Amino acid sequence: MSALFVEGVSILAPGLIGWNASRAVLTGERPYHAAALPPLAANLLPANERRRVTALVKLALHLAQEAVAMADCDPRTVCTVFASSGGDSEVLDQICAALTLPDRPVSPTYFHQSVHNTPAGYWAIATGCARASTSLSAYDGSVAAGLLEAAALALTEATPVLLVACDLPPPFPLLEHRPLTAPFGMALLLNPTATAPRLATLQVRPVGHRAPTTLADPDLEALRRGNPAARALPLLQTIACATSGRIILADEGEIAVNVDIEP
């Protein structure tokens, strides 16, 4: 197996606002306190596009930007993988509601943004990156699947890959049927060749059915279980602690991924 160097990382969730501010919480030096997310601006986009984009797109772009900035790399050279279990449920809710009205007035703007690869499209427009990009879902295993696809892309094409994973609680009435408890997003800049100072080295492989690695802190563990993207928390914690470790990313009925981590 070949190694992947983590050259950039980002996180955004209640009480975990950016990597530098979150590291002490993830290492256990500071207690975790959930606090509301600040509004995000999508500054990368031209003004006309910025007005239209939804909260999920803003979250994805913010995460991508932070991880790329940390790695200090040219985003145009980086392939991308966007993993999200449910995509933009705000948009889907608007469309499904419009379909119940007379004449079914689906908004062209919402329909433009209804595809799962909307964040990928906006990232490409914002950065000018024309490289390959995968947008995927594997329900609660979306982070694990995204990490595998990112690793497969990085290793077989010998290219840096940006993995962005994020999900938002859907609006009512979908929320009752998909009860996510908090917003969460994370990004990793993975490089198969070392070009920048690294935060960690990963080896990734799928394994058979396994129990997932959990978190000792009950509030962080509740966050991990409350959002599919937050399934990455044990991995992010080990990276923050700069220790060696083995993490299993898994959910019932879905793929399990074994991640071996070295500082």
What character string, x for contact with other proteins (CB under 8 A) and - otherwise, covers 176-215?
A: xxx--------------------------xx-xx------
The one among 10, 22, 54, 142 contacting other proteins by CB under 8 A:
142
What character string, x for contact with other proteins (CB under 8 A) and - otherwise, covers 216-235?
A: --------------------
146 closest CA partner among 130, 162, 160? 162
Residue 138 touches other proteins, criterion: CB under 8 A: yes
- In whole angstroms, how close is the CB of 239 to other proteins at the nearest point? 21
Residue 151, class by beta-carbon neighbours within 10 Å (0-12 exposed, 13-18 middle, 19+ buried)? buried
Q: What is the CA radius of gyration of the chain?
A: 18
The one among 69, 99, 158, 194 contacting other proteins by CB under 8 A:
99
How many positions of this chain bind other proteins (CB under 8 A)?
66
- In whole angstroms, how close is the CB of 60 to other proteins at the nearest point? 12
Q: Give the whole-angstrom CA distance, residue 131 versus residue 150.
A: 13
Structure tokens at 64: 């991508």
Cβ atoms of residues 124 and 130 within 8 Å? yes
Residue 252 touches other proteins, criterion: CB under 8 A: no
Residue 56, class by beta-carbon neighbours within 10 Å (0-12 exposed, 13-18 middle, 19+ buried)? buried
The one among 92, 196, 222, 248 contacting other proteins by CB under 8 A:
92
Strands 184-191 and 4-13: antiparallel
259 closest CA partner among 220, 232, 240, 241? 232
Residue 136 touches other proteins, criterion: CB under 8 A: yes
In the three-class reduction of DSSP (H, G, I as helix; E, B as strand; rest coil), residue 4 is classed as strand
Chain residues in the site for other proteins (CB under 8 A): 1, 85-87, 92, 95-100, 104-108, 111-118, 120-122, 124-125, 127-139, 141-142, 145, 148-149, 151-153, 155-157, 172-174, 176-178, 205-206, 208-209, 253-255
